[in-house]
Amino acid sequence: MLLTKLRKALRQAGDPERALAMQAYMKSAMTYHGVRAPLLRTVCKATFADVQFPTAEHWQAQVLGIWRNARFREERYAALYLASDKRARPFQTLAAMKMYEELIVTGAWWDYVDGIASHRVGQILKNYPAPMRRKMLSWSKSADLWKRRTSILCQLGFKTQTDLELLYACIEPSLASREFFLQKAIGWALRQYAWTDYAEVQKYVRLNHARLSALSRREALKNIESLNT
């Protein structure tokens, strides 16, 4: 029922011409309604206004019900919006990681994964550092590149709270990878930490120059010149 209501609202808000351009840009097999991000948030807010989450299980069922049965990409974006709903804040625990793992593995593209990594997995890491540290170390060696990418990006917003040992450990298994999305993630994570300690990032890049891809090095050092002036 919730997905039916959501789909109707998105269809009414959509632009078929824009939908084709959005699908092409995202290289998506799944079609779009053609709803821009600001309007999508408005539709989600209105559609989910009266949704109740009496239990964590009920919340997860609502999120996964939309995600698994989505036929348009914005419907999956809406599932992620529901996953981040402030009413679900008490449910953002280790028990939610099985759901997030499904979203990451089945989503398998940066527009889904990066927000989950930095906002959802990252927050759970902050709240449950010891078990999540073990999980991220395990994910860093996964055969699934999106789990690897998540382990690298999960501390993007941590600044001075960054567990540098964990970051480097999660980067390590992917240093030799020729996969664009892993090379880009390594550079992005290092560049983000450079805002906190650019000298440390410079040192890391210097010590690992031969092992880092050119893309990772370039991304890592992108903003350091301005930070060093």
CA torsion, ordered 85, 138, 208, 119, to nearest 10 deg: 0
Within 10 angstroms of residue 44's Cβ, the number of other Cβ atoms is: 23
Amino acid, single-letter form, for residue 178: R
Q: What is the pLDDT along the chain (229 residues), one digit of tens a residue?
A: 899 999 999 999 999 999 999 999 999 999 999 999 999 999 999 999 999 999 999 999 999 999 999 999 999 999 999 999 999 999 999 999 999 999 999 999 999 999 999 999 999 999 999 999 999 999 999 999 999 999 999 999 999 999 999 999 999 999 999 999 999 999 999 999 999 999 999 999 999 999 999 999 999 999 887 666 5
92 within 8 A of 120, measured Cβ to Cβ = yes
88 within 8 A of 60, measured Cβ to Cβ = no
3-state secondary structure (DSSP) of residue 17:
helix
Residue 58 burial (CB < 10 Å; 0-12/13-18/19+)? middle
Rounded Cα distance between 52 and 175, Å, is 44
Task: Give the H or E element holding residue 185.
Answer: helix 180-194
19 within 8 A of 52, measured Cβ to Cβ = no
3-state secondary structure (DSSP) of residue 162:
coil
Q: According to CATH, where is 1.25.10.90 located in the chain?
A: 1-91, 92-229
CATH code of 1-91, in short, is 1.25.10.90
Q: What fold does the segment set 92-229 form as a domain? A: Leucine-rich Repeat Variant (1.25.10)
